[in-house]
Amino acid sequence: MVLATDAGHPGRTNEDFAGAVPAGLVLVDGAGGIAGAEKVCRHGVAWYASRLGGALLGGLSADRSLRAVLAEGIAQVTDIHRDTCDVTHPSSPHAAVAMLRFSGDLVEHLVLGDAVAVVGRASGAPIVAHDPREVVIARSFERRLVGIDAGSEEHRRLLRELRGHRNNPGGFWVAKDDPQVVDEAVTGSCPAHGVNRAALLSNGASRLVDTFGLTDWAGLLRLLDHGPAEIIRRVREAEARHGVATDDATVICRG
């Protein structure tokens, strides 16, 4: 296993979590930067991401589906702070999740939210698991927010409207307080024979492909020959060149 991560905001905690056990890899991309979130949950997004990530790593070796592992992890973490925090509030901590499990003859994947799982094969195109729903909806709001003062009531109203799409039919889905969201996760598997590399990326790292188009997924896997930090380095260069705000970026890979 090889891991690289870089905080996207100087002076703010990196809210990505990534880890590995012999059974697989886990990445949790915590959603930060939400005004007033500290009043809703005293623990914070980084705490949520690391607690959920630890629970998922502990469940990977169990004889349960990846959906079941994620559902149990969400329930466990929610129960830890249910009595101290408003876990159902729209601004309470939440996260995108990506998981890979290497179980016998299969490589299994799960993605919930805008994280990405990529499985490279010796022959054929890589398998790419991602969920575009949050990106599509968020981009429509970004266009509507152009030219609106960040402190205005209209700006706050649009952000509330965007949050209203989270974990609702017709919207996008993330890990938060309700284990039933796992029904919306993207899952699949492929034969382990021929798999030569597998990686999980937070959306701050996957933008090398899906935002900037500087390579394709097969090219991204080839870049891992130079280590996952090379992917993040190229992302940071592209962000600076295009004037795009940085985000926490994490890559964890095996093979």
Query: So what's the pLDDT on residue 200?
Result: 98
What's the CA gap between 194 and 18, in Å, rounded? 25
Whole-Å CA distances, 105 to 7, 13, 190, 195, 255 = 36, 38, 9, 11, 16
Query: So what's the pLDDT on residue 33?
Result: 65
- Amino acid (one-letter) located at 59: G
Query: So what's the pLDDT on residue 52?
Result: 98
Query: So what's the pLDDT on residue 11?
Result: 85
Query: So what's the pLDDT on residue 135?
Result: 85
Q: Exposed (0-12), middle (13-18) or buried (19+): which is 124, by Cβ within 10 Å? A: exposed
DSSP letters spanning 38-91: HHH-SS-HHHHHHHHHHHHHHHTTSSS-HHHHHHHHHHHHHHHHTTTS-TTSTT
Q: Per residue of the chain (255 residues), give pLDDT as tens.
A: 999 999 998 888 999 999 999 999 999 999 876 767 788 899 999 999 999 999 999 999 999 999 999 999 999 999 999 999 999 998 899 999 999 999 889 999 999 999 999 999 999 999 999 999 988 898 888 888 888 887 788 888 888 888 888 999 999 999 999 999 999 999 999 999 999 999 999 999 999 999 999 999 999 999 999 999 999 999 999 999 999 989 999 999 998
